[in-house]
Structure 1
Amino acid sequence: MPYHITKIELEGFRGFRNRKHLQLEQGLVIVYGPQRSGKSSILNAPVWALIGSEACKGTIGPITVRERIEWQERNIHAEACQVAIHLRGDDGDSLFIQRGPTRNHYVVQRNGAVVKQPPLGALRLTLDGLVSSVFLPQEVVRAVLSVEPSHRRAVFTQLVGLEDLRALEECFSNASETLGKLANQIAHSIQQIDAEIKGQVALQKKRFQEVSGKLRQRGLSDEALCPEGVHSLVSPSVQALMEFCSTYRLEPPKLPEVGAAEELPGFVNEVRTVLSRLEAGCPETQRQKELYGKRHILEGLLAEQQKIRNAREQIHCARQTIAGQHGTEEDLKQAIEEFEQTLREINEQIDRAGKYLRMIQEALLYFETLPEGTAEVECPVCRTARVNVAHLRLHLASEMEKAGLEPLRQRRQQIERLLREKQDALNQLTQLAEQEKKLEAEWKELVNKVSQMYGQPLAPNESLELVLKAMDEATQAELKQLQGLLEARSKAIRKVQEKLEVLGQVVQLHQEKRRLQMLDDIPNLPEYRALLGLQAHAELYIGLLSELKRALKKEIEQAFAVKFEDLKEKLNELYRRLLGRNDFPQIWIDADKWEVRTSAGDRETSLTRVFNVGDMTAVALCLFLASAMRASHDAGFLLLDDPIQCLDEAHELRLAEILAELAKQRQVVVSCSRSSFLQALQTAGTVRRQVIRLAPWDNSSCRLEAETPEA
């Protein structure tokens, strides 16, 4: 049941920032206004309510249209965006669709009751059906004919309603691409594994040849690894080990039995362990370690003895130096007592001189206060009677100079410096005495250590250095005697090790051969075979998908041919009415090249070769209107956003007649900015018309100028 739009509510959508209600009549609705007045906003509002994205942004189906700025960026009230459309069916049913404030939030009501159905589903519409038979944005008209050849097929199949087959084909293409990537990854992994195997095989073969060459030099071959040859390989090593134990009176070790080549690595490791244990547990070896330890101790004792001797010599030199400068310790003590006594006497003289000076200063201050003519005064210095004041002042001043303190103070400083020198020298002697006591204790401890190593106390006149050197010489002599024994023992051990080395090379050869066998067996592993099988299955599936794609392509071509036959008659009828080209009487779509073609007599050609932009635009309109006339959904309205681009006035008049005739069957909402097309729409046919006039853009919001319903 077709529905037509009765009312559009906009708030915060594109140019309409303030809330606006638009009442739409049934029939032909003309939205007229200058550029940037809001015509496209009104035409886009129902589409945004239905699909939740701006119709002129990005792509809709396979048709690419001009990109615009996101509506959120164009509106300061984007967070309050809300669009609602009211629809009414021919039988009186009502449908309400509202979207906002976000793209994913919508409400659908049928006859006032909320239904859980998407907006497009409520009108039995698909996205392809919306573009091909309901909404015609400005750029889609020319996009139908101007897209790249690779997109023509998608555009034309969309116009005839083959979106399901196209979607299935796209799924097959995606699956084929995914499987192709998987197959390439598997093939790359297999190549890497094969390359790694080849590299490892080459390396193992090189090692195998090196070990085989060494064994051939010793007279052995690969056949020595057979079960019969294992015993002959092990016997020389066992025999050499037993001879070694017998020669040095050691208990023969218990070795594991070897019956197969796989047991050789364990046997070799066990023999090596036994050799290390026997060599470490040998008495000569132990004695050698003890002697080396003893030599290390003796060297330490000699160094300590030399250290004590050097310290004693330093103390002796220091004593001689002090004695040469200051004398003996008794001399120092006596000199210190004399200096202290002298210092006390000087301090007493300084005290007496200070008192005498203070008395003279007081007398001088007193006589300074007397008048110049005063006479018959007794002199306090010379006790002369009847002298004048001038004589007193002169006499007192000379006494102050005689009784000066500076010489006494200089003498005291000199005595103090000499006293400190003597005290420092005495302290040095005391410290040297303490150091001598400490060295004496260390010397006694060193003598005790040497006595313990020597085995008896040292004689009083016996030199410690000579004893230590004698013990060191004895230790070196014993080490020299052991050296011969140890060399013979090492020679015997090397003999066993040589036998064991041959056996180790055989073991290495066996291991290299096993590695080569393992590398050769990798292609036979279940994991590797599974990887090959996965690659084969992927290639098989890719082939099957290719076959399915070819079959589906053929099916699409056949279905297109059938559907286009239903569309062809109506398309050519509209073509003749809108274009009126007698030189090219009909047009059709070639399913092989997926292009619109025409003919002039017996000559066929592509439409883009003979038609100009205006004629191509008219042909695109014919394709859209023919598809809209045969649509079977419940959207009983058409939305045409400025369809007359590149059309002249003659084409405008013919298009107005077609739209007026189409408006008798369904609601047609068309926008335009030309007054000539507005006049043509107003005078074409006998149909109910409504003109919505928009005022020019005032940099704030779109607004209506007038709404004029006409009979």
Structure 2
Amino acid sequence: MKLYIKSVDIRGFRAFERPLTLEFQCGINLVVGPVGSGKTSILKAIEFCLYGTVSEIKRRIYRKADIINDFSEAAEVTVELASSEKSFKITRTYIRKGFEQLKVQVGEKLLEGEPAEAEVQKIIGLTHEDFARHVFLDYHRLQEIIFGSPATRSLAIDKHLGLYTIERVFRSIPLGLVKEKLDMLAAKEKELKEELDSLPDREELVREIGELEEEARNYDRTIPELEERIKKLKKTLEEQAQKKRIYDELKTKQEKIEAIIEHYRRTRKIDPKTASDLLSALYEKIKENICEGFNLLYNLKKCEELTQKLEEKGTQLETIKLFEKYYEELEKEFDRFSTEIEELERERLSKDIALRNIEKEISVLQASKLEYEELEDELARLTEKYGSEKVLGEKLSQLEREIERLKNKMRSETCKVLLQKSVLEGKSDTCPICEQKIENIDEFREKYRKAVKNLSKLGKEKLESTENKLEEYRKAYDRIRLLRRRLVELEEVVAKYAELEATLEKAKKELEELEETLEDRKRLQVKIKGILRGARAYIKKASSLATALAGWKDITRLQKELEALSKNIDKLNFDPAEYEILENEVKTLTSNLENYKARKEELIQTLEDKRGTLAEIERLNAELAAISQKEKEIERFYKRLLKVRRALREAQSELRSRVIEELKERINEAFRAIYRYGDYEELDIRVENIRTEKGYPRSIYRLLAKRTRDGQWVPILPRLSDGQKSLIALIFAVAVHGLAENKPDFVILDEPAPNIDEVLKRSVAIGLQKLGMQQVIIATQSEILKTENAKIISLKQEMRKE
């Protein structure tokens, strides 16, 4: 079915805000217009209507929503296709919100949605990819065939021939990932071996574990035996301890009675009256010391109580007990006083620490304070030299305007000099400035030299001086702004510094007052401690005298008690030396037991560590074996992938050769119809098998031409200009167009060969007609392609809005 495009209606698509309707004919159709007039947009509108997308969207160059004109809410394109039998009207609408609608009118029948898509596919007979290869011959896709490395050109040719699937499959084979995995496994294997080398020998470790386990079993036997022995000895020691307590009580009582008797014997030489007078004197000294102590501790009431109770007559021993009672109260008061001193000492230490902390904070902030003062001085100097920030900003603006004025003046002078130069070069005999005819060329040349000299000397020097001054002022302006920001940041630090200094002075004063109070109390403490020692000595001596006076009649009774105590000690049958030996033996055995247990725990910990090391060795060996096995499997897989890649390359080479054989005749037919130069008479595309830098086999296309001069086949692309190369790419694309089955009988060309001369452009159109194509639609900037019976559709820049 001979199918061609009858008309296109465009609304809101890309460059066209307003509706545009174009009629096409069979044969050559030229869409002519300047850059930006919407030629390509018309061709892309046809592609969008037939397939719902364009190649730029599929390649993600822009989004689908970008096909809608900026001032429209939807893009709508209607393409009418016709054949000798029937006509088809295809309308596709895309709304900015993402909704898309397709309608196909076949005679009286209207299709929408999926049935409409299927009908379009049936009408065209090509997929979108095949349409781009065989029908819509885009200039940029054609350039890929002729420009770039041989490998890049070969891939572009594969895309036009529909053979790129093999290359896509080839590239999808993850050979690099598999090789990377192999390298990772090899690195892991090396790491595991290094880790194993850093661990102890397995056999030696097993032997050490066995020895430690044997030693631990020995301790398991020894420790219970030792515990049983200690238990028996402790039981014996407890029995002896009861006797020891009785023995100690009896012995203490015996020693006390002996001491009393000995004291009686010593004091018996003293006359009772003399002893009584001495005791009275001691009482007075004791009273003085205790009262002085209470007075120093600010407790006058206790001294009055003691004086009042002493006036009440009692026995000598009762008086001694009264003194001891008040002595103990004085000691408690002294202890409370000492506790207060300790609290003051702690308070002094706390204040001292706080003082040191404040000094540290001040030292930390000292640098910031110094920085603040230095920055203030620098800001004052800069302000004094350049003025305030506002004044400096105004100066900068004035300098920038002056520089712009100087540059404009230099450009004007330069233009004058260049105009004079053109006169000297013989391009004109009239002065371009005053427009008068030049009578004396030498005088004019002298004026030109002076103008050049003045332009290069005076203008540049003044401009350079002004620019240097601007740079100096700009640096000063930036520095002032920076200083102000930094000073604002440091203000809080400086305020905190002043606050800390005030706090430091206050803390020093409080600490000095506390140290003075503490020093006074310590001196008082020393004095009271001396008073307590004196009172204690007097009380002891008075107690002895009072006891002696009271015990003259008790000596006989005490001697009988002493004899009874001696008999009881003998009956107890207790030896302190044996008890001490037994006690030392229990202590020694207990110490040994604790050492054995500690050694056992150490052994258990060592065993756990060594067993953990052994388990780690076993784990590493197992992991190493697993990695080795996996490495072998991946190595086999890697080799299989290499075979698959080689097979794909061989299949690719074979398939390329077959397709090229089918294409050669069509290429030369198109070559003879379009190529108008006489340097080559025939084209040939050959498939050549090569090896890459890494040694892998692959095939590439070689484009050869038979030279007219000597009949030699030579590589053509290095010998052609860019325009000739573009022509060869067009010839190849036209030949590929003939390979497609069930294709529509029209071709769309977007500026197929922009960089060839006008005569050759015309021959392109004539050649396309000679090839027998029913309809050719060409977007171009030049009407020179016009041939007999060709239809020209002229576009203007304004048509995008009309």
Under a length normalisation based on structure 1, what TM-score does the superposition of the two structures give? 0.57
Q: Deviations over 1:448-505 (max 9, x none)?
A: xxxxxxxxxx9544336559899xxxxxxxxxx9999998755433312332344344
Q: In the alignment, is the contact (CA less than 8 A) between 2:14 and 2:68 conserved in 1?
A: yes
Change (3 A) 1:186 1:49: farther
SS at match of 1:645: coil
What is the rounded CA distance, in whole Å, between the counterparts of 2:190 and 2:128 in structure 1? 46
1:115-130 matches, within 5 Å, as 116=114, 121-122=121-122, 123-130=124-131
SS at match of 2:684: strand
Offset of 1:113 from its aligned partner? 1.5
Corresponding residue number in structure 2 for 1:420 = none
Q: What is the identity percentage for the equivalent residue pairs of Structure 1 and Structure 2?
A: 17
Change (3 A) 1:196 1:131: farther
| 2:666 counterpart of 1:565 | no
1:83-98 matches, within 5 Å, as 83-92=77-86, 94=88, 96-98=90-92
Corresponding residue number in structure 2 for 1:357 = none
What is the rounded CA distance, in whole Å, between the counterparts of 1:572 and 1:146 in structure 2? 21
Change (3 A) 1:508 1:703: closer
What is the rounded CA distance, in whole Å, between the counterparts of 1:682 and 1:115 in structure 2? 41
| 2:149 counterpart of 1:148 | yes
Offset of 1:208 from its aligned partner? 6.6
Corresponding residue number in structure 2 for 1:612 = 721
Q: Deviations over 1:65-101 (max 9, x none)?
A: xx79998399423642333433345531525251512
Change (3 A) 1:612 1:508: same
2:784 alignment partner, one of 676, 691, 702: 676
The letter of the residue matching 1:657 is: I
Offset of 1:560 from its aligned partner? 1.1
The letter of the residue matching 1:224 is: E
| 2:722 counterpart of 1:596 | no
Q: In the alignment, is the contact (CA less than 8 A) between 2:15 and 2:41 conserved in 1?
A: yes
The letter of the residue matching 1:650 is: V
What is the rounded CA distance, in whole Å, between the counterparts of 1:194 and 1:518 in structure 2? 16
| 2:792 counterpart of 1:691 | yes
The letter of the residue matching 1:498 is: N
Change (3 A) 1:190 1:106: farther
What is the rounded CA distance, in whole Å, between the counterparts of 1:208 and 1:489 in structure 2? 39
What is the rounded CA distance, in whole Å, between the counterparts of 1:97 and 1:137 in structure 2? 23
Corresponding residue number in structure 2 for 1:370 = none
Corresponding residue number in structure 2 for 1:248 = 234
| 2:594 counterpart of 1:497 | yes
Q: Deviations over 1:303-348 (max 9, x none)?
A: xxxxx998875545xx8xxxxxxxxxxxxxxxxxxxxxxxxxxxxx
1:582-661 matches, within 5 Å, as 582-592=678-688, 593-600=700-707, 601=710, 603-661=712-770
Tell me the matched-pair count: 476
Corresponding residue number in structure 2 for 1:334 = none
Offset of 1:616 from its aligned partner? 0.9
Corresponding residue number in structure 1 for 2:218 = 232
What is the rounded CA distance, in whole Å, between the counterparts of 1:549 and 1:10 in structure 2? 48
1:250-329 matches, within 5 Å, as 313-316=296-299
Q: In the alignment, is the contact (CA less than 8 A) between 1:34 and 1:694 conserved in 2?
A: yes
Please state which structure has a larger fraction of its residues in helix.
2
Change (3 A) 1:545 1:486: farther
Q: In the alignment, is the contact (CA less than 8 A) between 1:53 and 1:103 conserved in 2?
A: no
What is the rounded CA distance, in whole Å, between the counterparts of 2:126 and 2:625 in structure 1? 51
What is the rounded CA distance, in whole Å, between the counterparts of 2:743 and 2:2 in structure 1? 4
Corresponding residue number in structure 2 for 1:516 = 613
Q: In the alignment, is the contact (CA less than 8 A) between 1:208 and 1:512 conserved in 2?
A: no
What is the rounded CA distance, in whole Å, between the counterparts of 2:196 and 2:677 in structure 1? 73
Corresponding residue number in structure 2 for 1:291 = none
Corresponding residue number in structure 2 for 1:176 = 175
Corresponding residue number in structure 2 for 1:16 = 16
1:93-242 matches, within 5 Å, as 94=88, 96-101=90-95, 106-110=100-104, 111=106, 112-114=110-112, 116=114, 121-122=121-122, 123-172=124-173, 175-184=174-183, 196-199=195-198, 201=199, 224-225=211-212, 231-242=217-228
Q: In the alignment, is the contact (CA less than 8 A) between 2:4 and 2:774 conserved in 1?
A: yes
SS at match of 1:153: helix
What is the rounded CA distance, in whole Å, between the counterparts of 1:78 and 1:186 in structure 2? 59
- Return 5+ residue gaps in structure 2 as ranges: 238-244, 246-290, 306-319, 332-531, 534-576, 689-699
Corresponding residue number in structure 1 for 2:324 = 462
SS at match of 2:752: coil
What is the rounded CA distance, in whole Å, between the counterparts of 2:608 and 2:601 in structure 1? 10
SS at match of 1:586: strand
Change (3 A) 1:603 1:24: closer
Offset of 1:39 from its aligned partner? 0.9
Corresponding residue number in structure 2 for 1:275 = none
- Return 5+ residue gaps in structure 1 as ranges: 61-66, 213-220, 252-283, 285-307, 320-432, 441-457, 471-480, 705-711
The letter of the residue matching 2:133 is: S
| 2:773 counterpart of 1:702 | no
Change (3 A) 1:647 1:230: same
Offset of 1:6 from its aligned partner? 2.8
SS at match of 2:680: coil
Offset of 1:181 from its aligned partner? 4.9
Q: In the alignment, is the contact (CA less than 8 A) between 1:33 and 1:673 conserved in 2?
A: yes
What is the rounded CA distance, in whole Å, between the counterparts of 1:248 and 1:93 in structure 2? 121
SS at match of 1:245: helix
| 2:12 counterpart of 1:30 | no
Q: In the alignment, is the contact (CA less than 8 A) between 1:56 and 1:137 conserved in 2?
A: no
Corresponding residue number in structure 2 for 1:77 = 71
SS at match of 2:737: helix
Change (3 A) 1:97 1:144: farther
What is the rounded CA distance, in whole Å, between the counterparts of 1:309 and 1:37 in structure 2? 121
What is the rounded CA distance, in whole Å, between the counterparts of 1:310 and 1:531 in structure 2? 90
SS at match of 2:732: helix
Offset of 1:623 from its aligned partner? 0.4
Change (3 A) 1:461 1:181: same
1:347-386 matches, within 5 Å, as none
What is the rounded CA distance, in whole Å, between the counterparts of 2:582 and 2:13 in structure 1? 107
1:408-423 matches, within 5 Å, as none
The letter of the residue matching 1:648 is: D
SS at match of 2:681: coil
Corresponding residue number in structure 2 for 1:666 = 774
Under a length normalisation based on structure 2, what TM-score does the superposition of the two structures give? 0.51
Change (3 A) 1:208 1:691: same
